[in-house]
Amino acid sequence: MPELVVTALLAPSRLSLKLLRAFMWSLVFSVALVAAAVYGCIAFTHVLCRPRRGCCGRRRSACPACLSDPSLGEHGFLNLQSSGLRLHYVSAGQGNGPLMLFLHGFPENWFSWRYQLREFQSRFHVVAVDLRGYGPSDAPRDVDCYTIDLLLVDIKDVILGLGYSKCILVAHDWGALLAWHFSIYYPSLVERMVVVSGAPMSVYQDYSLHHISQFFRSHYMFLFQLPWLPEKLLSMSDFQILKTALTHHKTGIPRLTPNELEAFLYNFSQPGGLTGPLNYYRNLFRNFPLEPQELATPTLLLWGEKDTYLEQGLVEAISSRFVPGRLEAHILPGMGHWIPQSNPQEMHQYMWAFLQDLLD
């Protein structure tokens, strides 16, 4: 068929897709402006209530002692083959078994896996990485450096760079989103997955279009589409919005000590420390609309019954995309979003049972 004819036949579909994306972006930025107004009021209220903290975040000069706890493992850096970036990681139990690679979420870092690093180092080589843009890892400034495709290549380079051909991937929140995609595009590198509080983006997209309440739970991600303003609002009154997210008595991480809180705030307080993590969100809508994808990697999915940010209905939506028999899903009563830190013992019990056959 002549190329001109093919182009003419495809023109209506291409135009429809462009119009759909234009409508989507206009809607996203409209909601982003509303979210900015709401978060602006919250941020300025914090400043008025705590005037001594001022309108900017205080830069931390000393690294919290808990980030150097030797029981968690040894610190190292890995130069990635594809991008040349240098990522920071903490490793323990080398030589004790298969690679167990941990991917954190936002606003977290490798330290969010402290309980799991201690628990599993006796039978696995456990590695918790600071994803690009986080902590001491390299943090390119350009938004285009944080696309899903590039982040997935980072994970591949970490696995191969550590000398392994496959791993057990354990992920939470944003790390979970990356893990789902990684299992689709690099299935040979993933032996098992443990996913906590996170859905594949295509599932999240379809579910949210039919359940507008999920959009309200994720309102913050619309704010993060804007340039520079989210960084400013999150840092006001010495990062009070982030502090509240992590320590709130109902929705935060229970029993988080002041020193542990500083372990998360330390790197965010450095110049440009928030831009890299927020650039993840600024790429969320780049490939909209997403096609449904079948999931096949043997996976343990843990979900908090009282998750503030993600509805329980997403678990059933995820299950519907799986090859039968490959997913073990549990909704944990009374638990929230931060299961690896808030309920590590329960998480560990499910993980040991799920991985037992690999150890026999």
> Which residue among 280, 281, 309, 350 is the active-site one?
281
CA pair distance 198, 177, nearest whole angstrom = 6
Residue 113 bridge partners (DSSP) = none
Closest CA to 293 of 157, 213, 187: 187
Order of strands, sheet of 125-129, starting from the edge strand that comes earlier in the sequence? 74-79, 86-92, 125-129, 99-103, 167-172, 190-196, 299-304, 327-332
CA pair distance 334, 346, nearest whole angstrom = 12
| Catalytic residue list contains 154 | no
CA pair distance 84, 80, nearest whole angstrom = 5
The CB-side HSE value for 12 (13 A sphere, CA atoms) comes to 2
> Rounded to 10 degrees, what is the CA torsion of 14, 184, 309, 283?
-50
List of long-range contacts for 65-74, beta carbons under 8 Å, 24+ apart: 65/259, 66/111, 66/114, 66/259, 66/260, 66/263, 67/111, 67/263, 67/266, 69/114, 71/118, 72/111, 72/114, 72/117, 72/118, 73/117, 73/121, 73/126, 73/128
For residue 264, give every residue at least 6 positions away whose Cβ sits within 8 Å of its Cβ, in sequence order, or none: 107, 108, 109, 111, 112, 242, 246
- Cβ distance 295 to 326 under 8 Å? yes
> Which residue among 46, 138, 337, 350 is the active-site one?
337
The CB-side HSE value for 67 (13 A sphere, CA atoms) comes to 21
> Which residue among 130, 138, 157, 173 is the active-site one?
173
Residue 216 bridge partners (DSSP) = none
The burial class, CB within 10 Å (0-12 / 13-18 / 19+), for 75 is: middle
Closest CA to 160 of 51, 97, 236, 79: 79
- Can you tell me which residue has the tokens 């150890």? 359
| Catalytic residue list contains 173 | yes
Structure tokens at 337: 């979003």
The three-state secondary structure class of 222 is helix
Q: Active-site residue numbers?
A: 173, 281, 337
